Structure 1
Amino acid sequence: MTLVKSLYAGIATASFVLAALPAAAEDDVKIVASFSILGDMVEEVVGDLATVTTIVGPDADAHVYQPSVADARAVAQADIIFVNGLGFETWSDTLISESGTEATVHVATAGITPVKVDGMTDPHAWNSLSNGVIYVTNVAAAMKEAMPEHAGEITANADAYIAELEALDAETKSKLADLPANRRTVVTAHDAFGYLADAYGLTFLAPVGIATEAEPSAKDLAVLIDQLKAEGAAALFVENITSPALVQQISEETGIVIGGRLFSDALSERGGPATSYLTMFQHNLGTLLDALAHETAS
């Protein structure tokens, strides 16, 4: 039996089990968010007014994720589902449709102007804090429609959260503004930081495209290495969701120092440096500044 058939056979079983369970309390609103960064945003907005379940958890790669029967069960039971959209969750449409859920589905990136990378839409819109404000605004609007009796609390939560995001956005722009032109080009494993580059005046190069499952050809990798040898880069960065091997190879062949680890598509596990969207961005900002503010490349 294929993985897909196995999963959806499991969904059918899960649906049978769910039918036998007692009905949940009317006010027990169940929310599903597709991945950890979005789940954290939703939790900030709803507080303790609802239960939030995240499909793709910390340090996991949503690009290559394979949903489980437990995920199908959570989706089937959900009242509200939030997805990133922009082609990020290639598995979500099938999961949602096959689960039989009656939940309303909301795209958190609605209203965001997409960035294109090599002609493809970059789905990593959260890597600009001004876009993060749009995510939160969209989540709050959906939740106030679903829970009008709690509209005041949801508005207050969202407003306080947005104020934090806007303050960090201003801090990020201020701190990165002083970097000289020759300290603004960096290399990561895959193209996850196009929105950050546009928002804060940096250039990100990557041997792999938007999706982490892609493999760079030997020719493309050689072209990038030759470009870096000729033009240089301020630093290389590994990512929490990808193997560091490719970045380590580039470092060895170019002499450019690895400047640390960035969180691109997922939060860190509990106890890590990026357990929320805010702390993720603060960690990434600090890591970038530590590497870019000093001449670390050989």
Structure 2
Amino acid sequence: MKDASFRIAFSALMIWGAMATSSASAKTLNVVASFSVLADVVQQIGGSHVRVKSLVGPDGDPHQFEPSPDDARNLKDADLAFFSGEGLERWFEKLVTASGYQGTPVIVSTGIKLRERQRNSRTSDDPHIWNSPLNVLVWVANIEKALSAADPEAADDFKDNAARYSRELRDLDGYAHARIDPIPPQQRKILTSHDAFGYLGRDYGITFLSPLGLSTETEASASGVARLIDQVRAEHVKFYFIETSNDPRLVQQIANATGAQPGGKLYAEALSRPDGPAPTYARMFRHNIDLLAKAMVPPSN
């Protein structure tokens, strides 16, 4: 009887020891992402294996962000760092140098076919990659690859998370088509603060007009604003939207001059706070599509 009790106790001790060893060997990667939209996607793929810090917080502007000493310390201590690239976060490379970060940051937009935008005789690549869920599929593949290289033992989990999230992204694309496709093409015209929704417009046949270019750092000329006012009037653009991460005054002035009505707040390049309407990328995209579709539906007779 004593031998049986000893064997049971010994087996329990061995099981506990194996669990403790497994728990001790499992690691959590400290990850830094440049802005909140990207941080959420990294979290979706990394799951419980990552601890993600976003440098640009909710409602923040990734174009004009000014890093703090705490941001430099967080980056220096990170196991991995992710940024979108393509000219969005021009401050990021300077921060990497200043922080002493020893790794190589992952550019998640690598491999995406960029939209070109011509303005004032200059051609630039559009960095607002994430406003197309199909583009974010490329982000997912790049994030999974980087996380798996950093933590091979968790590679199967990263793969499963990436497959699940990729299905969710395709569902978002289908959701947008279901809401937008029935709207007559001539009704799909919207005024916004700056040129942040080009990929969304490309994918779903929406024309976005804006006084500012691809970055909120640009300035609108008086002649450019006058031409835009004429265009909004000529094309009968009925609604304008402000963006949560930048100054709404200019687009509101144009709306006042043209009679465009407010459609609400779009999340162009930042998530909301957790208690807001867009705390994750998936909810942000649905929020934007729902507001746009509501504004563009022609009035019933």
> Fold match, TM over 0.5?
yes
From 127, 138, 145, the equivalent of 1:141 is 145
Report how far residue 174 of structure 1 moved. 2.2
| Higher alpha-carbon Rg | 2
Change (3 A) 1:189 1:179: same
Percent sequence identity is 40
Moved segments of 4+, more than 3 Å: none
Higher mean displacement: 175-184 or 26-35? 26-35
Deviations 1:159-184 (A, max 9, x none): 11111111111121122111112211
Given that 1:234 and 1:295 are in contact with CA atoms closer than 8 Å, whether structure 2 keeps it comes out as: no
Q: Which residue of 2 aligns with 1:208?
A: 212
Given that 1:79 and 1:102 are in contact with CA atoms closer than 8 Å, whether structure 2 keeps it comes out as: no
Q: Which residue of 1 aligns with 2:37?
A: 37
Consecutive unaligned residues of structure 2, counting only runs of 5 or more, are 1-24
Secondary structure of 2:265's aligned partner: strand
Distance 2:88 2:235 in 1: 32
Deviations 1:10-64 (A, max 9, x none): xxxxxxxxxxxxxxx9934211100000000000001110211110010010101
Given that 1:133 and 1:165 are in contact with CA atoms closer than 8 Å, whether structure 2 keeps it comes out as: yes
Q: Which residue of 2 aligns with 1:187?
A: 191
Secondary structure of 2:177's aligned partner: helix
From 241, 258, 264, the equivalent of 1:260 is 264
Q: CA RMSD in A?
A: 1.4
Given that 1:196 and 1:202 are in contact with CA atoms closer than 8 Å, whether structure 2 keeps it comes out as: yes
Deviations 1:222-245 (A, max 9, x none): 110011112221421110011221
Q: Which residue of 2 aligns with 1:251?
A: 255
Q: Which residue of 1 aligns with 2:94?
A: 94
Given that 1:182 and 1:233 are in contact with CA atoms closer than 8 Å, whether structure 2 keeps it comes out as: no
Given that 2:238 and 2:259 are in contact with CA atoms closer than 8 Å, whether structure 1 keeps it comes out as: no
Given that 2:189 and 2:237 are in contact with CA atoms closer than 8 Å, whether structure 1 keeps it comes out as: yes
Matched, 1:47 2:41: no
Pairs aligned (count)? 272
Distance 1:177 1:123 in 2: 25
From 264, 288, 292, the equivalent of 1:288 is 292
Secondary structure of 2:240's aligned partner: strand
Given that 1:63 and 1:213 are in contact with CA atoms closer than 8 Å, whether structure 2 keeps it comes out as: yes
Deviations 1:63-114 (A, max 9, x none): 0100000000011111111000001001001100121111231111011011
Distance 1:27 1:269 in 2: 28
Counterpart of 1:91 in structure 2: which amino acid?
W
Distance 1:26 1:78 in 2: 17
Given that 1:237 and 1:258 are in contact with CA atoms closer than 8 Å, whether structure 2 keeps it comes out as: yes
Q: Which residue of 2 aligns with 1:13?
A: none
Q: Which residue of 2 aligns with 1:159?
A: 163
Secondary structure of 1:157's aligned partner: helix
Distance 1:129 1:27 in 2: 30
Distance 1:173 1:125 in 2: 18
Distance 1:50 1:184 in 2: 40
Distance 2:70 2:91 in 1: 15
Alignment of 1:50-199 (within 5 A): 50-118=50-118, 119-199=123-203
Consecutive unaligned residues of structure 1, counting only runs of 5 or more, are 1-24
From 235, 242, 255, the equivalent of 2:239 is 235
Given that 2:129 and 2:135 are in contact with CA atoms closer than 8 Å, whether structure 1 keeps it comes out as: yes
TM-score (norm 1): 0.88
Distance 2:97 2:252 in 1: 41
Distance 2:274 2:172 in 1: 22
Distance 2:145 2:183 in 1: 37
Secondary structure of 2:33's aligned partner: strand
Counterpart of 2:104 in structure 1: which amino acid?
T
Distance 2:85 2:265 in 1: 26
Distance 2:291 2:83 in 1: 28
Distance 1:86 1:292 in 2: 31
Distance 1:261 1:50 in 2: 31
Counterpart of 1:267 in structure 2: which amino acid?
L
Counterpart of 1:85 in structure 2: which amino acid?
G
Secondary structure of 1:186's aligned partner: strand
